[in-house]
Amino acid sequence: MTEPLLKLEGVHTHIGQYHILHGVDLVVPQGQLTMLLGRNGAGKSTTLRTIMNLWQASAGRISFGGQDITRLSTPQVARLGIGYVPEEMGIFGQLTVEENMVLAARSGPMDDKRLEWIFELFPALRKFWKSRAGTLSGGQKQMLAIARAIIEPRKLLIVDEPSKGLAPAIINHLIEAFTQLKRTDTTILLVEQNFNFARSVGDSVAVMDDGKVVYSGEMATLAEDQALQQRLLGLSLDSHQ
């Protein structure tokens, strides 16, 4: 079993008077791409926001590389080497693509080789380098959001629903990009609703329901077991291809 890079133990989250996470236990193994699946409202995005401490856990423990990060502030969590792409992407629309990237390269000027690698992953970014990010299409914005998160080496990349609202051709491009990212030994945690996407790139999987993780294991195992998919997600992967 690979060492866990990120571990959530009995994490509860309240937002105002609402109790959203009811004791989440989640392990993200080092060097793997872990898919976090579940129906709408299961608590997937809340789990990611709780890891980043955008919403503070009311109980439980979150550890990253063995260090307890439960009470760290969001910037402190990010500075440990965690890149986060929220569901709404968080693009600074009034800044240019270049300025978005410059801001994300926190430790200094961007590394030219790494930037070239990103341009190979997402060629559109080179084309629109000097354009305002707000003028990009949805797919291009998603590419920028991911590029921004990886402009410096990260120990963990967390992405919330990267394929949401995108055309199939763009989704295939993202699948290719995540496949390449996996080859760089980047540990990735992805929330996704597109099961074809999930099966294409996922190594391990956790399924959430009603604020808890109800299943975790190998992605291949879930992909092959239609009865399990039906029980956990109310549908099978085949019906979504």
Mode of pairing for the β-strands spanning 57-64 and 4-15: antiparallel
For another protein, the closer of residues 51 and 207 by Cβ is 51
State the number of CA atoms in the 13 A half-sphere of 85 facing the CB: 28
* Burial grade of 204 (CB within 10 A; 0-12, 13-18, 19 or more): buried
Q: Minimum distance between the CB of residue 184 and another protein, rounded to whole angstroms?
A: 20
Question: Is residue 71 a contact partner of residue 59, using CB atoms and an 8 Å limit?
Answer: no
Q: Round to whole Å and give the CA distance between 201 and 179.
A: 6
Where does this chain bind another protein (CB under 8 A)? 52, 54, 73-75, 78-79, 84, 86, 88, 90, 92-95, 99, 102-104, 106, 134, 148
Q: How far is the CB of 103 from another protein (least distance, A)?
A: 6
Identity of the residue, 37 or 82, whose beta carbon is nearer to another protein in the bound complex: 82
Choose among 75, 39, 54: nearest CA to 235.
39
Nearer CB in complex with another protein: 30/74? 74
Q: Give Cβ neighbours of residue 66 (< 8 Å, ≥ 6 apart).
A: none
Nearer CB in complex with another protein: 79/126: 79
Of the candidates 37, 5, 41, the residue with the CA atom closest to the CA atom of residue 199: 37
Nearest residue (CB) to another protein, 191 versus 198 = 191
- HEC profile of 171-199: HHHHHHHHHHHHHCCCEEEEECCCHHHHH
Q: Would you say 27 or 52 has its CB closer to another protein?
A: 52
